Amino acid sequence: MLSTTQNYESGTTALHAVHHQTSLHSLFCKQPFEHLTAGKALFFESDDAVDVFEILEGTLRIFRIIADGRRVITGFLYPNDIVGISLGGRYLYSAEAVTSVTLRRLSRRRFDAAVTESDHLRPQLFALVSDEMAAAQDQMVLLSSKNAEERLCSFLLATLRRQAASSGNRTTLELPMGRQDIADYLGLTIETVSRTMTKLVGKGAIQIDGVAARNAITICRPVLLAQMAGDEDDRSREPRLTIVRGGRSH
Amino acid sequence: MLSTTQNYESGTTALHAVHHQTSLHSLFCKQPFEHLTAGKALFFESDDAVDVFEILEGTLRIFRIIADGRRVITGFLYPNDIVGISLGGRYLYSAEAVTSVTLRRLSRRRFDAAVTESDHLRPQLFALVSDEMAAAQDQMVLLSSKNAEERLCSFLLATLRRQAASSGNRTTLELPMGRQDIADYLGLTIETVSRTMTKLVGKGAIQIDGVAARNAITICRPVLLAQMAGDEDDRSREPRLTIVRGGRSH
DNA sequence: CGATTCATTGAGAGGCTTCAATCAGCGTGG
DNA sequence: CCACGCTGATTGAAGCCTCTCAATGAATCG
């Protein structure tokens, strides 16, 4: 999705080219690369949202710290993602590099100006925000109604899908983040994540290939994993009965 | 469904007035009123997002039904809220009336056109989406790290704040929705909500005034409730130490 | 007044967390 | 080169919170 992969020094320097661009990513194409080493912060929740960023390489986590000091990770960001479009002056969350990260920066002022002018760009921005909203909804569903096993399976499948989309279908995936990150993202403890992972291995659903801290995982039985994720649409076997709960629709 | 009753004939008929409007709400001002009785659906998750709605009176719940038939309520909508701006062709969730609801409808096509044209309206729409996003983030934090008591206190406080904003500061609030709705919104069961409510009464934090199914609640000790909500910013007493967790920022 | 719906309360069970110890990989320094 | 320490992951045991199942209570409506 949203290609525009690595436009290493395109020769185009014409400013009006912006108007021919079909992608939001083009806005960043003349910005210099920046690098973040693992663990470094990109911005904090309280910061003025002065810049917008395009991720070129690596993984970021976006999160909030709550009163008792715990951390809630609300999402991960990967290459081709754009971050910082949280409207309203201030970022809604902090962002840190999980791995080493390469990115480009654009001032919000220029980003907003470009989007305002272009009839091509505006729908793209809406689509982006829409995706973010949909992801937030999915996460709410996950957090409010799934158990540890379902959460982990959902996470593994989502990660697999994303990596398959960007680099061809595969049965193997890499988890750039550590167990603690996964735990904070799924609303679990690190121990539960670890135990559940072992349980999945025991069931033959997955296989842990990695030896280092950066884990690689093979999905042995994708279908089983999908069933265990708990958002199976297997309305095929049971009679169509849409309104079962919700009560007062008599 | 959606009997288009009571078109209360506002006197203003000037079409060009639209361009002077400063508010998104103005877009709806010439639309006829519609009514929903409690429990009736406004739209479903799978529907084409053909319309946008302005709530004038009453309460709506927006939710998704997951595979096992359970319901996850992702939000409630109140007067002056606008619903249906879920970009991307299809609604992200279903919407049902909690109470009797009065609203106005506008086609997405016209809504989008108006927003696209007006430099006044666009920032408003962004602000709206931004609020929705912030609310989703808060809900994720609530669901992934708060216990039953903290969730209920947060909910009561949020409800109090909203009602205080719309009708003067007060210590009393009304819960238009039933216990099952609250439970599905907070990711709990109806029994836990009930028990926690009783516990709060026992602590003297709140008081239940209502006798009917539609409950009225008095906040006896707002400060206590805020403490129990768990998003207390009491960094005032402890030394400023922003980076305690998150690990690898050595 | 009985039937229905919604809320409350109780008892038991289960899943996740907490606390704690062990294991594995990796870099550093002797 | 190996010992040591550090970090991150795994495993174990006990406890707590919430869910599940079940019964009762309260209010509305025919």
Q: What is the DSSP string of B124-151?
A: HHHHHHHHHHHHHHHHHHHHHH--HHHH
Q: Which of A229-243, B60-74, B190-204 has the lowest mean pLDDT?
A: A229-243
- For residues B21 and B60, is the Cβ–Cβ distance under 8 A? no
Contact A144 B143 (CB under 8 A): yes
Q: What end-to-end distance do the CA atoms of chain B give, in Å?
A: 61
Which pLDDT score is estimated for B249? 36
Q: What is the pLDDT of residues B81-117, one digit of tens each?
A: 999 987 778 999 999 999 999 999 999 999 999 998 8
Q: Which residue has the tokens 């982990």?
A: A152
Is 50 exceeded by the pLDDT of residue B41?
yes
Q: How far is the CA of B121 from the C1' of C3 (A)?
A: 53
Q: How many CB atoms lie within 10 A of CB A31?
A: 15
- Give the percent of chain B with pLDDT over 70: 83
- CA B162 – CA B117 distance, rounded (Å): 31
Amino acid at A197: M
Distances from the Cα of A145 to the Cα of A64, A229, B143, B189, angstroms: 22, 11, 10, 11
Reduce the secondary structure of A46-67 to three states and give it as a string. Answer: CCECCEEEEEEECCEEEEEECC
Domain definitions of chain A by residue range: 15-143, 146-229
Q: Which residues of B, range 49-108, sit inside 8 Å of A by Cβ?
A: 64-72, 74, 86-88, 92-93, 96
Q: Is B122 on the interface with A (CB under 8 A)?
A: yes
Is 80 exceeded by the pLDDT of residue B214?
no
Angle between helices A179-186 and A148-167 (to 10 degrees): 110
Contact B39 A244 (CB under 8 A): no
Indicate the pairing of strand B41-43 with strand A172-175. Answer: unpaired
Contact B130 A231 (CB under 8 A): no
What pLDDT band is residue A168 in, cutting at 50, 70 and 90? confident
> Who wins on pLDDT, B241 or B166?
B166
B213 Cβ within 7 A of any nucleic strand C atom: yes
Q: Which of A133, A231, A244 sits opposite B136 (nearest CB)?
A: A133
Q: Is A130 on the interface with B (CB under 8 A)?
A: yes
Q: Which of B143, B248, B249 sits opposite A143 (nearest CB)?
A: B143
Which pLDDT score is estimated for A38? 94
- For residues A179 and A219, is the Cβ–Cβ distance under 8 A? no
Q: Which residues of B, range 15-54, sit inside 8 Å of A by Cβ?
A: 38-41
Beta-bridge mates of residue A33: A104
Which pLDDT score is estimated for A19? 52
Class of domain B16-143: mainly beta
Structure tokens of A21? 């661009």
Angle between helices B108-117 and B121-145 (to 10 degrees): 110
Which pLDDT score is estimated for A241? 45
Nearest nt (C1') from A180 Cα? D8
Nearest nt (C1') from A210 Cα? C25
Tell which residue, A10, A52, A4, A51, has the closest CA to residue A26: A4
Q: Is B249 on the interface with A (CB under 8 A)?
A: yes
- The mean pLDDT value of chain B amounts to 85
Which pLDDT score is estimated for B211? 66
Which pLDDT score is estimated for A141? 97
What pLDDT band is residue A85 in, cutting at 50, 70 and 90? confident
Distances from the Cα of B74 to the Cα of A139, B94, B173, B242, angstroms: 10, 10, 21, 31
Mean pLDDT confidence for A211-227: 86
Is 90 exceeded by the pLDDT of residue A16?
no
Beta-bridge mates of residue A41: A96
Q: Is A239 on the interface with B (CB under 8 A)?
A: no
Which pLDDT score is estimated for B234? 59
Mean pLDDT confidence for A134-151: 97
CATH topology of domain B146-229: Arc Repressor Mutant, subunit A (1.10.10)
Contact B231 A67 (CB under 8 A): yes
Residue of A nearest to B151 (CA): A144
Q: Is B135 on the interface with A (CB under 8 A)?
A: no
Enumerate the residues of chain A whose CB falls inside 8 A of the CB of residue B187.
143-145
Which pLDDT score is estimated for B42? 96
> What is residue A32's DSSP assignment?
P
Q: Which of B71, B133, B180 sits opposite A133 (nearest CB)?
A: B133
Q: How far is the CA of A190 from the C1' of C17 (A)?
A: 10
Enumerate the residues of chain B whose CB falls inside 8 A of the CB of residue A68.
230
- CA B91 – CA A134 distance, rounded (Å): 10
Which of the four CATH numbers 1.10.10.10, 3.40.640.10, 1.10.510.10, 2.60.120.10 does domain A15-143 have? 2.60.120.10
Q: How many CB atoms lie within 10 A of CB B225?
A: 20
> Who wins on pLDDT, A189 or B241?
A189
User: Does A15-143 match A146-229 in CATH topology?
Assistant: no
Q: Which of A116, A132, A232 sits opposite B67 (nearest CB)?
A: A232
Is 70 exceeded by the pLDDT of residue A236?
no
Mean pLDDT confidence for B54-60: 97
